[in-house]
Amino acid sequence: MTTNSDKAVAKEMVDIMHRPDGDPKLRPIHTNGIGVTGFFKASETAAEYSNSEPFQGNKIPVTIRFSNASGNKTRHDGWSDIRGMATRFHLNGPQDFDLIAMTLQEFFTPDVPSTLEFLKAARPTPYHSATPLQKIRDYLSLKVPKRNRYPHEDLSPDDGGKKYANKHKFAQLPIFQTASIGAPVSYARAAYHAVHTFIITAPNGKRNWVRFTWQPVAGVRPRPIGPDNKPDDDYLNQEIRDRLSDRETARFTLMMSLGEQEDEVNNCTKPWPLHRTRIVMGMLTLNHVLDAKAQESKIEKMSYNPCLLPEGIEPSDDPILHIRRTAYEISSKERHANRCPFAGGQ
Ligand code: HEM
């Protein structure tokens, strides 16, 4: 049940996310993206763990939007940034399934008050380059030295976040990883994590607490840092177009980790240990990049929502997952996108 106070907080979050170099008619974050279609087919094992439609082995059409996380309206594919992968499984049931994932393995904050505080603290600020002396001081005091400014980079996305991380231990891992995350050579050469815990039900009624990750079949490959890296280009869009032309495909396996007793299920700042049992739930095959007209009329007007789940997949009680439901709904309405799946709902 969404309360008026949830709506007020979610609205405040969306307002803060809009950057001065953004565009109110576009998404406040993950502003630049590209739409790709294909299909998902579950593995034979998947149906043993889940009675939900995506995991019964049928070929399910999908629409994916890959994105750069920045809210800057200008594309900068070579800039260091988190990347997003939003997947809609088009199902026969009453409700589709959206699985929204990013290249970071955990989120910055564990609850709603800390998220609001973090978003305010991490607002982009005018860029101040570090002097060579400052960089040496940073090295000597074991601090991550500030990276060089990209051409045309007027706002710094990291400074406020780093100050926040100095005061809040839970935010240190994601903030420091983000500051040095770099850029992938391709949207199809990165792993994407859905971060939250979901609950799935097996045919025998057993419920499992799980987390999902897309693993690229071609392997993870970051772009080398150096003179070859032209920061201002839009190579990621061109690369996926080239890759999927001539009947080529890009593939991802959907990996599902099974939570154990001691794992934090409602705290998305805490990644689960790497040695948790992982089940291969299926294979995603991408084979078509939508044309420019469909990008404009379909993909840029789409409203994904992390709480759009089919029967048999439930949200955990993670407060970040629940506030996202309302935040995405508000953002979609404000940018006049196609109706959010929950618009007019609770
Ligand atoms: C409280 C935490 C969060 C808030 C308030 C938030 C808010 C938003 C908003 C307002 C949008 C634009 C939605 C639209 O206009 O359609 C968005 C997009 C997006 N977010 Fe989040 N987000 C949060 C956490 C996360 C997390 C944990 C992930 C990754 C698991 C994530 C991944 C994405 C992606 C990939 C998109 C782009 C979706 C698309 O392509 O349409 N966000 N977020």
Ligand 1 near 303 CB (within 6 A): yes
Tell me how far apart the alpha carbons of residues 230 and 77 are, in angstroms, rounded to a whole number.
9
Name the band, by pLDDT with cuts 50, 70 and 90, for residue 157.
confident
Ligand 1 near 86 CB (within 6 A): yes
228 pLDDT above the threshold of 70: no
pLDDT at 197: 98
CA-wise closest residue to 36 among 200, 244, 199, 212: 244
289 pLDDT above the threshold of 90: yes
Query: What is the tally of helices (H) and strands (E) in the chain?
Result: 9, 12
Indicate which residue's Cα is closest to atom 12 of ligand 1: 27
Domain ranges of the chain: 4-125+172-334
Taking the CA atoms of 66, 63, 188 and 322 in sequence, report the sign of the dihedral they define. Answer: positive
Q: Which mutation among 32, 304, 338 tests ligand 1's pocket best, with the greatest number of atoms within 8 A of CB?
A: 304
Name the CATH topology of 4-125+172-334: Catalase HpII,  Chain A, domain 1 (2.40.180)
Residue-wise pLDDT tens digits, 28-83? 999 999 999 999 999 999 999 999 999 999 999 999 999 999 999 999 999 999 99
Q: Which of 56-70, 145-159, 212-226 has the highest mean pLDDT?
A: 56-70
Ligand 1 near 170 CB (within 6 A): no
What average pLDDT does the structure give for the chain? 93
Residue-wise pLDDT tens digits, 11-43? 999 999 999 999 999 999 999 999 999 999 999
Query: Are 93 and 67 within 8 A, CB to CB?
Result: no
The two structure tokens encoding residue 87: 């997947």
Ligand 1 near 328 CB (within 6 A): yes
Pick the more confident residue, 125 or 194: 194
Ligand 1 near 304 CB (within 6 A): yes
State the DSSP H helix or E strand holding residue 250, giving kind and residue range, or none if neither: strand 250-258
The two structure tokens encoding residue 47: 């149906």
345 pLDDT above the threshold of 60: no
245 pLDDT above the threshold of 50: yes
Query: Are 157 and 70 within 8 A, CB to CB?
Result: yes
Rg (CA), the chain: 20
- Which residues, listed in sequence order, are joined to residue 289 by a DSSP beta bridge? 36
Indicate which residue's Cα is closest to atom 3 of ligand 1: 324
Taking the CA atoms of 279, 282, 285 and 290 in sequence, report the sign of the dihedral they define. Answer: negative
pLDDT at 346: 39
User: Which atom of ligand 1 approaches the CA of 28 most closely?
Assistant: 12
Name the band, by pLDDT with cuts 50, 70 and 90, for residue 344.
low
Beta strands in the chain (DSSP E): 32-42, 60-68, 83-89, 97-102, 125-126, 155-156, 192-193, 198-201, 207-216, 250-258, 278-289, 313-315
